[in-house]
Structure 1
Amino acid sequence: MATLETITLKVEKLLRMAADREGTAEGDVFRDKAFELMAQYGVEKSQLNAGEKATAERRDIDLVGTYTDMQFMLLNALGTVLHSQVVMFKVPRSSKVSKAVIFGRPHHVERAIMLYGFLSTAMIAGATTMTDMWPDPNVSVTTRKRSWMTGFISEISARLRIIEADHTEDYGQAASSDGSHADSSSGPSGGMSGALVLQKDRELAEDLAREHFPFLRRSRSGRRTFDAQSFHHGAKEGQAMDLGQTRVGRTVGALPRGTAG
C-alpha cells in the first residue's frame, strides 16, 4: 500500500494538473482521480489496521490569516463527514478562531487535514475572485465573501458525504478490533459491516474529545448579514470541484455544527 507521503505527492500533482485545465472536462478528470485516490487510501488504511486495537489521536491546527472562522467551518465540515470530531478555540469577543483540534482515527484525520490544506486556499481565493470580478455596491465585500465561502463549504461537504457513503461497505472488516466476530451488524462476509466500523470510529473520536475537553459545548452561530447570490456562486464552485464521483445531484446539504472548547 502507498504511504501518506506518496499519496500526497500524487494528489498534489493531479490537482495542479486540474488547475491548469480548469473549466475543461480534462481538468474534471484529474480532480476526480485525486479525490478518489484519497478515498481509497482511507479504506485501505482501515483494512490494514483491522486486526489492531482501534485508537484515536489528537491533532492541533493553528488557524492564521484572514477569515479564520470560515477556515474552521471548512475543517469542521470535512472532519465531521470523515468520522472525526473537531473542537474550536475562539478569540474572546471576536469572530476569529485561533486554533482547531481534531480527534479521530489516524487515517480519517490525515484525510481531513489533507483535504483542508488543498481546499482552504482555494476557498479564500475563490471568494476574493468573485468579489473582484462582480462588485456589488449594495452588499459589503466581507458579507459577500463569507456568503460565498458558506455556499462552497456546504456543497463540498454534501458531495464528500456522498463519496464516503459510496465507500462505506468497503470499510467492512472480517472481525472486530478485539478479534471477535460481529453478529447482528455483520457484513456479507460475516464480519463487521462498514457502517458499524465507521460508527465506532466516530464514537472513538467523540470519546477522546470529551476526555481532553470534558466541558465541551456546542458553538452558537452569530447573526450575520447573508447574501444569497454569493452563497449560490460559492455552491456552484463547490459543484465544480469533483470529489471522486461522476456528477451527482445539486442539493446543498446542511452544515455540521462545530464544538467550542
Structure 2
Amino acid sequence: HAAHGYLISQFLSPLSNKRDDQWGGSLENRARFLLECVRRTRAKVAKRFIIAVKLNSADFQRGGFNDEDSVQVAKWLEDEGIDFIEVSGGNYEQPRMIDFNRKDPLAANKRESTMKREAYFLDFVPKLRARVSVPVMVTGGFRTVAAMQRAVSEDSVDLIGLGRPLVLDPEAPNKIFAGKLECLISRDEDLVIGNGLLGPRSPISFLRDLNAWGSLGWYYEHIYSLADGRNPDTTLSAFRALLRYDSTEGKTAKAVTGRGPRQ
C-alpha cells in the first residue's frame, strides 16, 4: 500500500519526506523504500506469488507527489517485476480515494471531467499506459457493469477494483459474471449527517468533514459486522456510525499503544 498518506506514501511525497539521506530528496531516493519493500518481499516468496502495489496517481496537493512522479515510479516497479499496479489517489488531508473534496489551500484543482466520471482515476490510465505495460487496476466509484466494461474495453484497464458495494453484497462479482446484476447496491447518497447546512456540501468545513467520515465510518462498521458473521445493519445512520467508528478506533489505539488516540 503505497498510497493515501500511509508510510510508503509518506516516503514518496516531497511534502512529508524531508530526509537528506539516501531515503529522501530526489524521486529516486524517495522511491527507494517502496522498491526495497518489493525486492525483499519478492526474495521471500514463491515465483507464482502475486505482488501488487497500490500507488497514488497523485496526492492532489501542490508540491506533493504528482502524476509524472507516479508514472516514473510505476516504471521502476515494472522493472522490479511487479504483477500489477492499482491506481488510486489522495491522502487523509485530501482524501480523493473516497471522493471527498475538502477545501484545502494546498489542494490542486480537480478536473470537472474527472468529477463526472464513474471511476475516479481513469483519466490517469492513458498516461500510465504510455510508459508501462504492467497490468493496471482501477478502484473507486464503479457502480454499473456498463462502466466497468467501458473501462476495460476503452480505457485499457485490466482489473476492476470494488470496495464499498461489496460491503452490502459480497457476492456481487459472482452475480455480475453470471449475468444477474447490472448495477451495484450503493448507499453513498443516503449516508449524510443532515441536509443543507448540515450536509456534505455545507459551507462549513467541519460539517463537510463529519459527513465524509460518517459515510466512511458506516462502511467500516459494516466490514466489522461481516468479519463477525453478522448481516449489515442498513438502518444505521451515518452519525451513529461515526460515533461507533470513533469509539472502535479509540479502543483499538488504546489496545495497541496503551493510550487513546487523543492522548
TM range (shorter): under 0.3
Compare relative contact order (CA 8 Å, sep 6+) and give the higher one, 1 or 2. 1
Structure with greater helix percent: 1
TM-score, structure 2 length as denominator? 0.26
